[in-house]
Amino acid sequence: IMSPVLLKLSEKTTTNMICDLFQNSEDIRCKCICPPYRDIEGQIYKQNVSLKDCNCLHVVEPMPVDGKDVEAYCLRCECKYEERSSGTIKVTIIMYLSILGLLLLYMVYLTLLEPILKRRLFGHSQLIQNDDDVGDQQPFANAHNVLSHSHSRPNMLNKVEHAQQRWRRQVQEQRKSVFDRHVVLS
């Protein structure tokens, strides 16, 4: 039971947060590059102004020349308006790093932890589960297997286990073709 004021407030803060995430006020800028002029060094000026104010007179501060030279100086300066979205960058990088981290963890789990866990749970006798010589040379072999995998138990865990086993076998096949026998992908 939230009072309408609180509700409106939380709504506003959420939209503000989303707005801040995706449109930072720092995300626009006008960049003016001014080449060397007479005895003045070249300079770069940046300010976050909007598109209509993006010209030499508004951005170049303090103006290094005075009076009648201002026009000649400003003629050589080049001003460009640029926009970016720092929220997109942040979200992309964090998503990328998290997916990378998850994949690395899964890889570590598959190569190191899973055999240890399996050995502890099922004992030594059933360790030889993964069929290393499934990679039948004949590609025609799996014509027989097409109809054979339809007896699935309704158990969810078994389905996941089954799918994972099938995926691992596929990856092993691929690894054999690419890395060992060098048949595909040189």
Partner 1 sequence: MDTSGFRTGSLDSLHHPSDVDDDDEMVDIAGATLDFSHTDDDPPLGSGDYEERGGSRAAGMNGNGPNKMVDPLEDPLPGLGTYEDFNTIDWVREKSKDRDRHREITNKSKESTVALLHSVSDAFSGWLLMLLVGLMAGALAGGIDIAAHWLTDLKEGLCLVGFWFNHEHCCWTSNETTFQERDRCPQWQSWAELITGTSEGAFAYIVNYLMYIVWALLFALLAVALVRAFAPYACGSGIPEIKTILSGFIIRGYLGKWTLIIKTITLVLAVSSGLSLGKEGPLVHVACCCANILCHLFTKYRKNEAKRREVLSAAAAVGVSVAFGAPIGGVLFSLEEVSYYFPLKTLWRSFFAALVAAFTLHSINPFGNSRLVLFYVEFHAPWHLVELVPFILLGIFGGLWGALFIRANIAWCRRRKSTRLGHYPVMEVLVVTALTAVLAYPNSYTRMSGAELIAELFNDCSLLDSSQLCGYKPPTNTSKTGVGNSLADRPAGEGLYTALWQLALALVFKMMITVITFGMKVPSGLFIPSMAVGAIAGRLLGVGMEQLAYYNHDSFIFKGWCSPGADCITPGLYAMVGAASCLGGVTRMTVSLVVIMFELTGGLEYIVPLMAATMTSKWVADALGREGIYEAHIRLNGYPFLEPKEEFGHSSLTVDVMRPRRSDPALAVLTQEGMTVGEVEALVESTRYSGFPVVVSQESQRLVGFVLRRDLLISIDNARKRQEGVVSASQVVFTEHAPAQADDGPPPLRLRGIVDLSPFTVTDHTPMDITVDIFRKLGLRQCLVTHNGRLLGIITKKDILKHMAQIANRDPDSILFN
Shortest distance in whole angstroms from residue 184 CB to partner 1: 6
Q: Which is nearer to partner 1, 1 or 183 (CB)?
A: 183
Q: Tokens in use for 154?
A: 């309704």
Shortest distance in whole angstroms from residue 105 CB to partner 1: 12
Q: Which is nearer to partner 1, 6 or 75 (CB)?
A: 75
Shortest distance in whole angstroms from residue 173 CB to partner 1: 8
Task: Tell me if residue 173 falls in helix, strand or coil.
Answer: helix
Shortest distance in whole angstroms from residue 132 CB to partner 1: 16
* Separation of alpha carbons 160 and 175, rounded Å: 22
Q: Tokens in use for 97?
A: 């790093």
Using CB under 8 A as the criterion, which residues of the chain lie in contact with partner 1 when the complex forms? Answer: 26, 29, 33-38, 41-46, 48, 76, 78, 80, 82-86, 88-90, 92-96, 99-100, 103-104, 107, 110-111, 138-140, 142-144, 146-147, 167, 170-171, 174-175, 177-179, 182-186
Angle (CA) 106-112-115 rounded to 5° is 105
Q: How many helices (H) and strands (E) does the chain have?
A: 6, 3
Instruction: Name the phi and psi angles at 33, rounded to 5.
Output: -110, 120
Question: Half-sphere exposure (CA, 13 Å, Cβ side) for 3?
Answer: 3
Q: Which is nearer to partner 1, 124 or 144 (CB)?
A: 144
Q: Which is nearer to partner 1, 3 or 150 (CB)?
A: 150
